[in-house]
Structure 1
Amino acid sequence: MRTVIVGAGEVGTSIARSLAPAHDVVVIDVDADRAEQLKYELDVMTLSGDGTSLSVLRAADVASTDLFIASTDDDRTNLVAAETAKTLADPFTIARTKSVEYLRTWELTRAAFGVDFMVCSDLLSAENVVRVVGLPSAVDVDPFAEGLVQMAEFEIDAHSPVAGQTVAEADRFESLTFAGLFRGDELFLPRGDTTIEAGDRAVVIGSPGSVQAFASDVAPESTPGDADEIVIIGGSQIGYQTARLLEERSLSPRLIEQDHDRARELAEMLPNTVVMEHDATDTEFLAREHVDEADIVVAALDSDERNLLVSVLAKRLGTDRVVAIVDNGEYVTLFEEIGIDVAINPRQVTAEEITRFTHSGIAENIAVLEGDQAEVLELKLTDASELVDRPISEVASGLEADVVFGAITRGGTLITPRGDTELCAGDHIVVFVETAFVEKLTAMA
């Protein structure tokens, strides 16, 4: 598949890195130095120029392109680039936008702006926050198989009852599979006798009920579903969308916004949210409002630096769990290293969603883990698949790849995979696989 990507920032680079091994990729960026760097870094063709320019798109041979992705940081640039590409040919166009208003306009016809598929960074980020809120001890949560299956990643701290247990001891749930463990920079597939250590990040796949039950084992003091007291700091679009989605779940969060006009606007749009007009860096105010007693604090200001400050303040006050929006991907590790529980990077969330969509037809769904070290894929097996009519033990031994079968759905029913489980055409399989082996696995499905 020939793909043209406009924008070589974090989003465009991540998408190009994912697609480059198996596709013909061209990346366009206004920064000539960045374009040149990417050419050698990812071994893709690059062009320096304006992605909305007809001449630049002609030079990129958009006329013979299958997929066109506009992923710059500017919404209007992305929309104009997609529209311009449509004047040259009829590639499938994907546009990234921050504005939910553009998304709502596009949803009216699914064809506005010359865009075939639109990805809204702010809404996706808010949805990620809400999923984490729904499973308080997790650092990442993704649904698969139309909600029948859930993947969750948990950081095991020194006080967790699970720390020091073997996988066999910790896995006491019928419909749960331990898929992988991240320890430092190392990824390995756990066995029954593998000891779970403090600091590990454990990835589990199973029914939502079993994942929630395991979450209770990881952190008994943070029972899933008990996160009723939620404070959102910042009335940004992500902050607003988070509050709106929480209201849809019959929750009543509190939201702190310093700007008078914005606070008034939010109060009118969010009938079940208590909007407080104040500076969230005022520690006396935070203490007076008992922010330390909140189950979760969400830092959703428009500045990474301010989000870092209010996150640290919330932690120092005694808040159990802090989720922070981190716009610069390079800061994610910094937030995590100083003790912020979950750092959500809108650019990475967006890149993951676009990558998932580009795999449609190959993968039904995808989650990228730990800086692209591993992926969780949902694959639908066809009659022609090399995997069907074979037991999982035979398939796994023949793959010569680091892969774990996490769950199977068959006819809308969840099946917990075992070594003697035979795969059938029509099955949806959810697998944990090291990124290097993704192409090999998907080719067999």
Structure 2
Amino acid sequence: MKIIIIGCGKVGLTLAELLSAEKHDVVLIDESSQKLSSIPEELDALRILGNGASVNIQQEAGVEEADLLIAVTGSDELNLLCCLIAKKAGNCHTIARVRNPIYNKEIGFIKEKLGISMIINPELTAATEISRLLRFPSAIKIDTFAKGRVELLKFRIKPEFHLNNMPVSQIGSHTNSDILICAVERGDLIAIPDGNFILQDNDLLSIIASPQNASTFFKHIGFKTGQVKNAMIVGGGKLGYYTANLLQAMNINVRIVENNRDRCEQLSVLLPDSTIIYGDGTDKQLLLEEGLSEAESFLTLTGLDEENILLSLFAKANSNAKLITKVTKIAFTEIINNLDIGSVIYPKHLTADYILQYVRAMSNSIGSNVETLYQILDGRAEALEFAIHDTSAVTDIPLAELKLKSNLLIGSINRKGKTWIPRGQDTIQVGDTVIIVTTQKGLGDILDILRK
């Protein structure tokens, strides 16, 4: 497909790299010559200097032949205008990044009246993920499928769980729970394990299970499963606001530390049920006086990655709180993963995942459709949910007889509201949704799981 991306910030560049790797024809537009010149030379994309809302610039980029235009500049209004012009000039699909809370309640109206295919709000998306994590604080990361009936949860094995040196095949019977271990991270090793794989303490495990079975599993190994009762948030920006708003609805007591007095006054009006504290979030004494040592969760959501990481390390040493750390830059992922700072939230990655999911859905045959897509294991694997619309080479055949690609697992089948971990004699049927976990990148159709 031909895809035009307007805005070469972190999200735009991440999208360009992902889409170019999937062999799409990518065009990048930005008003900053410095941003365009800093794009890696190995990125296979046409670069155009100019205002993405200009009809002439869009025509130069080939909007008449484009399948999709994605506007991810720093301005909500400019993104919407770019999409509106693209619809008129080229009649392509359009995606706009819109972050201002003012527009949040008007998304449906904006999409319908302006004809925009998708609106993505990185902060709201990240806040939703944070709320899931605080609902189930045992996990480092939680991704949901099948409208919440299935979860992909990531956690680290600790000695007190008594899973060291245990084969994967024995986990279900040992914990009396129906779960599937779909990925293991051990240092530089990434594995889609078979039943003979031996687990070790400190491994990062990703499991697929229903919420009930996940809860049974975590209770058996001694992990906390109930949602937190209170949260301390450092940083009252858009992400802090969206997160607090969701946590209030979950009856979680929220305290926000913000160093801008005007913003504190705004938040006190927007979040009347939260406690807003005017102060420096890096003031260790302030955090302790405001109850850090008793906090059940501690969220560092400022605009500075270094500050967020240091604050989480301080909280780790001074509390038993569930830690959530926002990170914007993705260049130091390997270093960050070695730090014990709880769940790390990358809003840019989340945004890219949702847009990539939409692009895959556009590319599909009518036989199946990508309903959900997550980049997992630091982008080295994917978890996808396919909706099965038609009979094909994968339907009505026992899974054991399918010639599946290597490093690929069928993690779950959802049929008429019932969800289970499939076995060899189970079959995929029309109407099912199926979850696939694989290191094979670029799957766009359910038939792509088969060896050719």
Cα distance per residue 1:77-97 (max 9 Å; x no partner): 322322232231211110112
- Which amino acid letter does the alignment assign opposite residue 430 of structure 2? A
Distance of aligned partners of 1:415 and 1:103 in 2 relative to their CA distance in 1, 3 Å threshold? same
- Which amino acid letter does the alignment assign opposite residue 183 of structure 1? R
Q: How far has the Cα of 1:214 moved from its partner? A: 2.7
Distance of aligned partners of 1:434 and 1:3 in 2 relative to their CA distance in 1, 3 Å threshold? same
Q: Distance in 2 between matches of 1:147 and 1:114?
A: 28
Q: How far has the Cα of 1:155 moved from its partner? A: 2.4
Q: Distance in 2 between matches of 1:309 and 1:415?
A: 41
The alignment status of 1:409 with 2:410, answered yes or no, reads no
Partner in structure 2 of residue 3 of structure 1: 3
Cα distance per residue 1:286-319 (max 9 Å; x no partner): 2223312222101112322332332222122134
Q: Distance in 1 between matches of 2:96 and 2:286?
A: 41
Partner in structure 2 of residue 199 of structure 1: 202
| Unaligned stretches of 5+ residues in structure 1 | none
- TM-score, length of structure 2 as denominator length: 0.89
Instruction: Judge which range, 155-164 or 131-140, deviates more.
Output: 155-164
Cα distance per residue 1:123-143 (max 9 Å; x no partner): 111111111112212121111
- TM-score, length of structure 1 as denominator length: 0.91
- Which amino acid letter does the alignment assign opposite residue 54 of structure 1? V
Residue from 187, 190, 209 that aligns with 1:187: 190
Q: Distance in 1 between matches of 2:18 and 2:391?
A: 25
Contact 1:180-1:187 at 8 Å conserved across structures: yes
Which residues in structure 2 correspond to 1:67-82 (within 5 Å)? 67-82=68-83
Instruction: Judge which range, 311-320 or 351-360, deviates more.
Output: 311-320
Q: Distance in 1 between matches of 2:74 and 2:159?
A: 39
Distance of aligned partners of 1:44 and 1:292 in 2 relative to their CA distance in 1, 3 Å threshold? same
Q: Distance in 2 between matches of 1:325 and 1:427?
A: 35
Partner in structure 2 of residue 16 of structure 1: 16
Partner in structure 2 of residue 177 of structure 1: 180
- Which amino acid letter does the alignment assign opposite residue 405 of structure 1? I
Q: Distance in 2 between matches of 1:197 and 1:346?
A: 31
Distance of aligned partners of 1:388 and 1:189 in 2 relative to their CA distance in 1, 3 Å threshold? same
The alignment status of 1:389 with 2:410, answered yes or no, reads no
| Unaligned stretches of 5+ residues in structure 2 | none
Q: Distance in 2 between matches of 1:286 and 1:113?
A: 45
Q: Distance in 1 between matches of 2:171 and 2:101?
A: 42
State the secondary structure of the residue aligned to 2:105: helix
Contact 1:312-1:340 at 8 Å conserved across structures: yes
- Which amino acid letter does the alignment assign opposite residue 369 of structure 1? I
Cα distance per residue 1:332-368 (max 9 Å; x no partner): 4444333211211111111111112222353011111
- Which amino acid letter does the alignment assign opposite residue 299 of structure 1? T
Please tell me the root mean square deviation across aligned C-alpha atoms, in Å: 2.5
Q: Distance in 2 between matches of 1:226 and 1:325?
A: 20
Q: Distance in 1 between matches of 2:387 and 2:444?
A: 15
Partner in structure 2 of residue 366 of structure 1: 373
Q: Distance in 2 between matches of 1:176 and 1:207?
A: 8
State the secondary structure of the residue aligned to 2:94: strand
Q: Distance in 2 between matches of 1:421 and 1:281?
A: 54
Cα distance per residue 1:49-78 (max 9 Å; x no partner): 332232221111101112111123333332
Instruction: Judge which range, 177-186 or 333-342, deviates more.
Output: 333-342
